Structure 1
Amino acid sequence: MDLQTAEIKVNDLQKLLNQYNYEYHVLDQPSVPDAEYDRLLRELNELEEQFPELKTSDSPTQRVGGEILEMFEKVQHQSQMLSLGNAFNEQELQDFDRRIRQIVGDDISYVCELKIDGLAVSLRYEDGLFVLGATRGDGSIGENITANLRTIRSIPLRLKEEITLEVRGEAFMSRRSFEALNRQKGERGEELFANPRNVAAGSLRQLDPRIAASRNLDIFLYGVSDAGESGIISHSEALNFLDMLGFKTNKERRKCANIQEVIEYVQEWTSRRQDLPYDIDGIVIKVDSIEQQRMLGTTAKSPRWAVAFKFPAEEVITTLKDIELSIGRTGVVTPTAILEPVLVAGTTVQRASLHNEDLIREKDIKIGDQVVIKKAGDIIPEVVNVLAERRTGDEIEFLMPTHCPECESELVRLDGEVALRCMNPKCPAQIREGLIHFVSRNAMNIDGLGEKVISQLFAENLIHDVADLYKLSYDQLIQLERMGEKSVNNLLQAIEASKGTSLEKLLFGLGIRHVGAKAAKTLAQHFGTIDLLEVASYEELTAINEIGEKMADSIVTFFEQEEAKELINELKAAGINMEYNGPKPLSIESSDSIFAGKTIVLTGKLEKLTRNDAKERIEALGGKIAGSVSKKTDIVIAGEDAGSKLAKAQELGISIWNEERLVEELNE
């Protein structure tokens, strides 16, 4: 076959296969059997191998994944990919509608769409050809994942028109594909994936595109960047435009004439969401008119013309197989429900905290019960209630022990507390948990010393208290399982580096009862050295703002113990810093900082600063960090995926900064 004949044949095969691919993956209406598609694809692949000059970037053969990348490059979005504010009930939807009508009047319509639980991406086309795909990133700059997105068969590599534009969508994995993938992993004895969303996001951020190609991902497109610039006058028209170009959009969308119709749509899909072949985590409501969207504008991170209604926490039924007890670093005994594994809000749940004995009695929980489980805030699994009507008589009543399961010391309940405590300071469980706390991020932050390594060191009798961490040697560590030469050297370097940590980290790490990270910093800033704090009286401590009577009593009691004095002396001998070396807080009167005297709330994910860094720097400049938004809040710093706090700040008219503004002001 000569080149001219091959070129005609290749072009015909590409067009035919692209049409079959569109019918199968976008329209869900395949016109040929899979075997015929595969035969034609093999024929095309053979021709392109024989005539490499005929291979194009939009060929169906380019969906199998190419070369492994070294890293993802950063790319600028044509327009910002904003996140959405949240609504959690009908009243908040009514409030959203009221704010909209106050600005644009009562002639308003909305478009409701299912909120797909996946990964937001942007796709850029030039003259109809797919040239760039990126993650959302910080909204302005994302990562180039073009090679991975090419493997999604519902993304057209060439549009039906030679048009240049950027579109937005949500990549996801169907439940069927997720179950098949986990079935394969189970057969190989591998750990199963937690949920479809994590698989989709993880697959698209793999440097090897062949992994994404093997995962059978899908996508729904939901927007055109700068739609108004293309002459589109409404969001519903933009979605129809995407359909016409060959994109896959979600057909369950609905145009609503008023907020009551929106609420009816929300109610319908709240009950029907399990009928879908993919996961959704809410409903997106958008003002339809592009002109009205312009009038409403945006905040730093989200449009005022759109909101995401989040579904109530999903509840499922499973069996409570057993109740285990754990001892915390303060001696508190916490019962934990061991459950028959069950999928709740996208992740497999096998354990749920029961908090204390009183809760078990209040909910009449027995081993063997059928129980209702949900995730509080879609994060923490909890037992909602027992299905007593399903009891068979084989259930076993749980009795809290009278003695510690670790050291067999008698358990006591202190006045005013519901928790049982082990009061033995030498209890192995308390010591182990105390060691884990000491090396944690907010304390001494010793990288590589996680819970597993601490437990291993403790079990091998290499450490008994925190001072022993600074006596560990290469010869001791190299003998441990899964500890190679590089790991040992890195760990020893991290331990050595922690010696210079500022005093407040050490105080928090020591686990003095009632002294959290914030109080530890207050004490460190006030006294400057541990020696001065050690001899501080109860009266001196209570005179400090934010140090209450219980905390002061606990601090005095701690430093009076001979064991505490010996431990501090050992840490001093090991070379641990005992002084505060952070910035001194400015007084409100003397500071000309923009933060001085202001109440500030941090919400969402920060990219350039950690939450703790931002908090410390703001406080050092006289600002006060609060955990919730109220009328007393002066500024809200909104990072990526800011949620209800941002929405409340908008409602109250509070000043909202993005991270860039925060960094600028801190640098000033």
Structure 2
Amino acid sequence: MTKTQQATDASGQDLNPDEPSEALREEYAELSDRVREARTAYYVNDQPTISDAEYDELYRKLEEFEALNPHLVANDSPTQEVGGEVSAAFAPVKHLEKMYSLEDVFSTDELTAWLTRAEAQIANLPGAPKVQWLSEVKIDGLAVNLLYRNGDLVRAATRGDGTTGEDITHNVATIKDIPQKLTGENLPQEVEIRGEVFISSKDFRTLNEHIVEEGRAPFANPRNAAAGSLRQKDPQVTARRPLSMFVHGIGAAQGFDLESQSEAYDVLKSWGLPVSPYSKVLDSIDQVLTFIEEFGTQRHDLLHEIDGIVIKVNDRRTQFRLGYTSRVPRWAVAYKYPPEEVNTKLLDIRVNVGRTGRVTPYGVMEPVKVAGSTVEMATLHNQDVVKAKGVLIGDTVVLRKAGDVIPEIVGPVLALRDGSEREFVMPTHCPNCGTELRPAKEGDVDIRCPNAESCPAQLMERVSHAAGRGAFDIEALGDEAAKALTQPVPLDAPDGTEFSEPPLRNEARLFDLTAADLEHIQIWREAKRTTTDKETGEKTQKVTLQLVPYFWTKATKTKPSVPSKTTEQMFEELEKAKSKELWRVLVALSIRHVGPTAARSLATAFRSMQAIRDADEETLAGTDGVGPVIAQAVKEFFSEDWRRNVVDTWAAAGVRMEEEIDESTPRTLEGVTVVVTGSLENYSRDSAKEAILVRGGKASGSVSKKTDFLVAGENAGSKLDKAESLGVPVLDEAGFEQLLTEGPSAFGDDDGDNAAEHDAGTAENPTEMQES
């Protein structure tokens, strides 16, 4: 029985549905965090941590949980958002018209059911035309929005969270497929063109060959290569990558109208924009299924990698009438092909120690090509998963490249066992520091290394995390540099017993490092030497390992060793990081469960690190976007001497520990609790919350008798119903803006307590709100 099922008593009645159990809240918080972290890794960091299939399963689990517990659904739930967060490395750009995600289906039965329902809805529309389905391949790339004014490209942005994206105009300008100026006649005054940037399969192979020749690690797949290339801070780097684009949609537009999606593609092509050759208008569901089957057999023979087929209602007027949910259009669906599978040999099972000390087994396999890339490692999650899968070291295993991203060991091929296989034994001590491993708390499946302070593996991950985009964003301090700063290096041989002392024993001295501290740091690197046989002319390449300086240049007869340019850049970026916002400092500290969303809430509510340290657990938990799980993690963090020392040492080094207060913003919402639900035209979820908090108000995620105002956007849902049943005043977006400017007095209540409804700013329902 799950925790969710335990929320009802023997008679099937909800146990106090207005006050969910602590266990239920914790389960929801942890599930939401896992989805959010996986999405950030995929959309923001371009480094997915779980497979598409695992993410889809996790996401569906969250949807099912929220369906069973609608009173727990939070505004910042991943199910209420589109795509990922916006990286702070680029300027935010608000789209003129929202960019939506697509609803995914994973079997032809699900797809048939979806198309059948859609056809029935369309048949009930007055004067609805005959249904036609425009079907096209689903490009495995990065969604981009192009804005043209009078034919000129003026801006390009990533999808971001659907409302706000990242400004990548200079990078997109380097892609030869994208015209800087549209051709043809009767061009619209202003139009948003949506499409997908990708790297072709052929170009991807060539790119990786060059990268390997240069001694660097190749890209995992074309999607990550394309996303990483577009998110380069230097457009010259982007220009050297073989990026292409196909456009497939139109957002906001002025000055023209089209009857069908297929006609839109013809028009886009006439303007000089690249349009996919893999699309077709089909008249029946059977034809759609045939189209899917045909492309499924040739998916690796196409110009680019695909992970499914997108099916859209072809008639544009019908699209408009069907409309959207808060996240997806009701007139389009994405069918995702099943993951691909191959057999390979499981050579070994080893363990990795992560940032929080979690010890994760992973399989080492004979390299095998699957879904377009060569795979030799795959995660096994924990010792229970190893047992559940029944795999032994030496087995031939089924390997699935789930979702074309992260490989997964499915299980053993039992018929091929010969008796030489052996069981995996989970280590009892940390392979990096020798500390005895144990669960963090009783009942945990995962085991962890409790030496959080100085375990080299954990420390390396924390330093790398602190330098990441979501924290200090120190580009010159990547994984390899973090490893060089934290890992003891064997001096006599790669597997020797005499080790160097790393500069960092924990992250406290990160901002106190000097170039002199790094002069002695060396790492083992491969050195290739080619010799030619004088008689036969045959060339032989010999690979040896040698110790080389990492942060300093190698001394020569004419030049002494000096800090490298990358090292100088790292120190410059460390200095800049000291002035970063308080929420980034909180993220950089690796407090468990505290990601960007919770960190923003804490920084906005408490304004200083000291105030957060001094707050009791109940006060922390009462902060919107925090809750009891995160509050407990924060208190546990500051209860440890060495962690407090990290914060104090950073502060002494000049790292900013207070939030800057904008005195120009009036505190119009002091003591006022506001809940925002649904989609607003001029505010993202974060910006609406920020607007409330900076004015002294509380941005709550749930409606109760203590709620002073509910702001209802499009698709407001159950929170609107609850607010109306409790008599809570409901405002539309215009009313929200008036509330921000004038405070509750604008609605007949000076205290913000049971404010009276204001006719001009109150929405009886979402439809009236949209029309007002």
Tell me the TM-score normalized by structure 1.
0.61
| Cα distance change of structure 1 residues 394 and 134 upon mapping to structure 2, 3 Å threshold | farther
Which of 466, 470, 481 aligns to 1:453? It is: 481
* 1:611-644 per-position Cα deviation (integer Å, ceiling 9, x unaligned): 9778755665644579xxxxxxx9999xxxxxxx
Instruction: Please give the alpha-carbon distance, in whole angstroms, between the structure 2 residues aligned to 1:473 and 1:250.
Output: 53
SS in 2 for 1:362: helix
Q: CA deviation at 1:405?
A: 1.0
| Cα distance change of structure 1 residues 185 and 109 upon mapping to structure 2, 3 Å threshold | same
Q: Does 1:469 align with 2:469?
A: no
Q: Give 1:52-67 correspondences, 5 Å limit.
A: none
Moved more, 394-403 or 163-172: 163-172
Identical residues among aligned pairs (%) = 34
Q: Does 1:332 align with 2:361?
A: no
* 1:20-67 per-position Cα deviation (integer Å, ceiling 9, x unaligned): xxxxxxxxxxxxxxxxxxxxxxxxxxxxxxxxxxxxxxxxxxxxxxxx
Which of 276, 279, 282 aligns to 2:305? It is: 279
Q: Which amino acid aligns with 2:449?
A: C
Equivalent position of 2:348 in the other structure: 322
Instruction: Please give the alpha-carbon distance, in whole angstroms, between the structure 1 residues aligned to 2:384 and 2:175.
Output: 52
Q: Does the 8 Å CA contact 2:669/2:740 hold for their aligned counterparts?
A: no
Q: Give 1:20-39 correspondences, 5 Å limit.
A: none
Q: Does the 8 Å CA contact 1:133/1:145 hold for their aligned counterparts?
A: no
Q: CA deviation at 1:360?
A: 0.6
Moved more, 112-121 or 334-343: 112-121
Q: Which amino acid aligns with 2:102?
A: G
Equivalent position of 2:571 in the other structure: 492
Equivalent position of 1:415 in the other structure: 442
From the CA coordinates, give the structure whose radius of gyration is larger: 1
Instruction: Please give the alpha-carbon distance, in whole angstroms, between the structure 2 residues aligned to 1:495 and 1:376.
Output: 38
Q: Does the 8 Å CA contact 1:85/1:307 hold for their aligned counterparts?
A: yes
* 1:67-126 per-position Cα deviation (integer Å, ceiling 9, x unaligned): xxxxxxxxxx9x9897663332414444444444443636322232333446779899x9
Moved more, 563-572 or 538-547: 538-547
Q: Which amino acid aligns with 2:675?
A: G
Q: CA deviation at 1:388?
A: 2.9
| Cα distance change of structure 1 residues 270 and 96 upon mapping to structure 2, 3 Å threshold | farther
Q: Does 1:382 align with 2:461?
A: no
* 1:255-292 per-position Cα deviation (integer Å, ceiling 9, x unaligned): 43334543453355445534656432322323334564
Q: Which amino acid aligns with 2:393?
A: I
Instruction: Please give the alpha-carbon distance, in whole angstroms, between the structure 2 residues aligned to 1:123 and 1:539.
Output: 47
SS in 2 for 1:108: coil
Q: Which amino acid aligns with 1:266?
A: I
Q: Does the 8 Å CA contact 2:438/2:447 hold for their aligned counterparts?
A: yes
Instruction: Please give the alpha-carbon distance, in whole angstroms, between the structure 2 residues aligned to 1:245 and 1:549.
Output: 55
Q: Does the 8 Å CA contact 1:243/1:249 hold for their aligned counterparts?
A: yes
| Cα distance change of structure 1 residues 583 and 301 upon mapping to structure 2, 3 Å threshold | same
Which of 85, 91, 98 aligns to 2:102? It is: 85
SS in 1 for 2:349: strand
Q: CA deviation at 1:241?
A: 9.2
Q: Does the 8 Å CA contact 2:146/2:157 hold for their aligned counterparts?
A: no
- Count, aligned residues: 554
SS in 2 for 1:457: helix
* 1:535-585 per-position Cα deviation (integer Å, ceiling 9, x unaligned): 656676667777766766665555454445555554454344444546799
Equivalent position of 2:385 in the other structure: 359
Higher relative contact order (CA 8 A, sep 6+): 1
Q: CA deviation at 1:143?
A: 5.1
SS in 2 for 1:283: strand
Instruction: Please give the alpha-carbon distance, in whole angstroms, between the structure 2 residues aligned to 1:555 and 1:247.
Output: 51
Instruction: Please give the alpha-carbon distance, in whole angstroms, between the structure 2 residues aligned to 1:142 and 1:515.
Output: 28
Instruction: Please give the alpha-carbon distance, in whole angstroms, between the structure 2 residues aligned to 1:525 and 1:226.
Output: 34
* 1:135-192 per-position Cα deviation (integer Å, ceiling 9, x unaligned): 964699995999977689xx9x999xx9777999878665456546656766776754
Instruction: Please give the alpha-carbon distance, in whole angstroms, between the structure 2 residues aligned to 1:516 and 1:218.
Output: 33
SS in 1 for 2:288: helix
Q: Does the 8 Å CA contact 2:503/2:518 hold for their aligned counterparts?
A: no
Q: Does the 8 Å CA contact 2:340/2:370 hold for their aligned counterparts?
A: yes
Equivalent position of 2:8 in the other structure: none
Q: Which amino acid aligns with 1:403?
A: H
SS in 2 for 1:366: coil
Instruction: Please give the alpha-carbon distance, in whole angstroms, between the structure 2 residues aligned to 1:333 and 1:526.
Output: 35
Equivalent position of 1:103 in the other structure: 125
* 1:357-402 per-position Cα deviation (integer Å, ceiling 9, x unaligned): 1111111122333334446666544333333334344433211112
SS in 1 for 2:675: coil
* 1:398-417 per-position Cα deviation (integer Å, ceiling 9, x unaligned): 11112221222222234110
Q: Give 1:90-239 correspondences, 5 Å limit.
A: 90=111, 91-103=113-125, 105=128, 107-117=130-140, 137=157, 175=201, 178-179=204-205, 192-196=218-222
Moved more, 418-427 or 309-318: 309-318
SS in 2 for 1:103: coil
Moved more, 457-466 or 135-144: 135-144
| Cα distance change of structure 1 residues 92 and 338 upon mapping to structure 2, 3 Å threshold | farther
Q: Does the 8 Å CA contact 2:691/2:740 hold for their aligned counterparts?
A: no
Q: Does the 8 Å CA contact 1:100/1:305 hold for their aligned counterparts?
A: no
Q: CA deviation at 1:468?
A: 1.4
Which of 454, 457, 460 aligns to 1:432? It is: 460
Q: CA deviation at 1:449?
A: 3.2
Q: Does the 8 Å CA contact 2:182/2:273 hold for their aligned counterparts?
A: no
Equivalent position of 1:50 in the other structure: none
Tell me the TM-score normalized by structure 2.
0.54
Q: CA deviation at 1:335?
A: 1.4
Structure 2: stretches of 5+ with no match in the other structure: 1-94, 160-164, 488-500, 522-549, 553-562, 703-709, 721-732, 742-772
* 1:280-325 per-position Cα deviation (integer Å, ceiling 9, x unaligned): 2322323334564566678999876544434344444444333222
Instruction: Please give the alpha-carbon distance, in whole angstroms, between the structure 1 residues aligned to 2:331 and 2:401.
Output: 30
Q: Does the 8 Å CA contact 1:117/1:280 hold for their aligned counterparts?
A: yes
Instruction: Please give the alpha-carbon distance, in whole angstroms, between the structure 2 residues aligned to 1:200 and 1:559.
Output: 40
Q: CA deviation at 1:456?
A: 1.4
Q: Give 1:605-616 correspondences, 5 Å limit.
A: none
Q: Does the 8 Å CA contact 1:503/1:580 hold for their aligned counterparts?
A: yes
Q: Does the 8 Å CA contact 1:372/1:385 hold for their aligned counterparts?
A: yes
Q: Which amino acid aligns with 1:87?
A: D
SS in 2 for 1:114: strand
Instruction: Please give the alpha-carbon distance, in whole angstroms, between the structure 1 residues aligned to 2:283 and 2:660.
Output: 61
| Cα distance change of structure 1 residues 262 and 468 upon mapping to structure 2, 3 Å threshold | same
Instruction: Please give the alpha-carbon distance, in whole angstroms, between the structure 2 residues aligned to 1:203 and 1:535.
Output: 43
Instruction: Please give the alpha-carbon distance, in whole angstroms, between the structure 2 residues aligned to 1:209 and 1:427.
Output: 36
Equivalent position of 2:396 in the other structure: 370
Q: Does 1:405 align with 2:431?
A: yes
SS in 1 for 2:477: coil
Q: CA deviation at 1:334?
A: 1.5
Moved more, 312-321 or 462-471: 312-321
Q: Does the 8 Å CA contact 1:133/1:146 hold for their aligned counterparts?
A: no
